[in-house]
Amino acid sequence: MTSADHLHPNGTASGRSGETVPPLRKDAERNRERILAAARQAYAEAGLEVSMAEVARRAGVGIATLFRRFPTREDLIDAVFADRMDAYLAAVTTALADPDPWDGFTGYIEAICAMQAADRGVADLLTMTFPTAKALEAKRARAYDALMQLVDRAKAAGRLRPDFTSQDVVILLMANAGVVSATGQAAPDAWRRLVGYMLQAFAVHEPAGLPAAPTPTALYRAMLHLGRAGRADA
């Protein structure tokens, strides 16, 4: 600092022009928000396999800055998806409030599969576990407990097949994540067909009708997309 500069009592610096330089903590907070925004977009587009280096590049910060704010990948995922896990938990809470146990169950399945379709990061998040991301995993545990209540209600109502287990939800989410990834923008509603089939399989009495199948052209475009993605990874 030159003789023409001086410190204000609040710790900010004032230069020759009289401009006040914001304290470092504001710069750090801005960097944090830029990192979170970049990670959120990257994960939504490409899933959770996006590297920390790529997040730093998108955020316009150095990798050291990123690791100062988020020492591990799990720390970053925890921060990025805090609101998504709130929505995941809210979906099962809403389902439990439905007076019809089967409508509550099917509404929940459709809601979380729609979350996967809207965000590749969520598609991955719901089929992975992150033991060191304590806040995220705590919400996941609460959602699981509520899901089991939902399953028990639907079984007691005689609508959900008695051999259904919580593992079947995980299998469905894994399958749905694969469909969402494969079809992309070419057939963006293809996942609804899969979910419709699975809900019929879960039911004691099959509900009538299924969502419309993707058109042959849409599926062909999706297959072309997968082929190009495979060549790019080679």
Query: Which pLDDT tens digit goes with each residue over 63-79?
Result: 999 999 999 999 999 99
Query: Number of structural domains, the chain?
Result: 2
Q: Examine residue 14 and state whether it is found in any structural domain, yes or no.
A: no
**In a domain? residue 86:** yes
| Residue 202 lies inside a defined structural domain of this protein | yes
Residues 6+ positions from 204 with CB-CB distance below 8 Å: 158, 159, 160, 161
6 inside domain: no
Residues 170 and 202 in one domain: yes
- Domain encompassing residue 124: 82-207
Task: Report the alpha-carbon angle 133-138-140, nearest 5.
Answer: 95
CA separation for the pair 26, 20 (Å, rounded): 13
> Where is pLDDT greater, at 121 or 13?
121
Burial 189-206 (b: 16+ CB within 10 A, else e): ebbbbbbbebbeebbeee
Give the span between the Cα atoms of 210 and 232, in whole angstroms: 35
**Among candidates 209, 176, 169, which has minimal Cα distance to 190?**
176
Q: Whole-angstrom Cα distance, residue 215 to residue 234?
A: 29
Q: Are residues 133 and 170 in the same domain?
A: yes
Residue 132 lies in a domain: yes
Domain identity same for 98 and 49: no
Same domain? 201 vs 142: yes
Residue 26 pLDDT greater than 60, yes or no: yes
> Does the structure show a pLDDT above 50 at 16?
no
